[in-house]
Amino acid sequence: MRTARLSGWGALRCDAMDTGRLEVPVRVRSRLDLICVPKGVDDVVDAHRWTSARAEWERSGWLVDGAPTAELVDGGGASMRLDVPGARVVYANQLGGFRVWCPACGEGMARPFAKAMEGARTGGPLRAQCAACGVESPFEALKVRPPIRVGRSALVFEDVNGSTLTDAGSSAVEAVLGAFDVVLRRVS
Ligand SMILES: [Zn+2]
């Protein structure tokens, strides 16, 4: 395929041998969310603590009309919210998904993980058994790329321009959540 850049149309793609076929590439606007998940799987973030933290962040200029500034997250972001889904959920990348492998034999474990997660949602064990070698592993021992976290609540920075919290942002989030991990979620 050759790429022809035509003013007003963006890049049209046509076959190197002209077969008359043109493709208009779809511009996929994806969004990146930075999700802060408490290290304690069953920790639920206190809504009142978040409400008062948000007011304080607005006063100190870290949030402007609800949008996190570059003081909190690299490049700033569009909005942020507290997520409390009411059950354990997997906080994970969406566009392109994520992959799970057995730490013992290296086989894919997407299916056993998904099945185990169904039970874990409502309090079942956070463990999955490899169909290939039979080894049962706690979720945290599974090899997962990109990283995921299971939790019952999270503080979500939506549509961020960078992929890391600033030091100040990290401390501010820790004051609300306690110890936490960051999951990046690309959404189409
Ligand atoms: Zn295995």
Task: Give residue 185 CA to ligand 1 midpoint distance, Å.
Answer: 27
0.95 exceeded by the pTM? no
**Please, are residues 39 and 174 in contact by the beta-carbon 8 Å criterion?**
no
Task: Give residue 111 CA to ligand 1 midpoint distance, Å.
Answer: 12
Q: Residues lining ligand 1 (ion), CB within 5 A? A: 102, 104-105, 107, 130, 132-133
- When computed from its CA atoms, the radius of gyration of the chain, rounded to whole angstroms, is 21
Question: How does DSSP assign 93-159, residue by residue?
Answer: --TT--EEE-TTT--B-HHHHHHHHHHHTTT--SEEE-TTT--EEEGGGSEEES--EEES-EEEEES
Lowest mean pLDDT segment, chosen from 10-14, 125-129, 153-157? 10-14
pLDDT in tens, 156-184: 999 999 999 999 999 999 999 999 999 99
pLDDT in tens, 53-108: 999 999 999 999 999 999 999 999 999 999 999 999 999 999 989 999 999 999 99
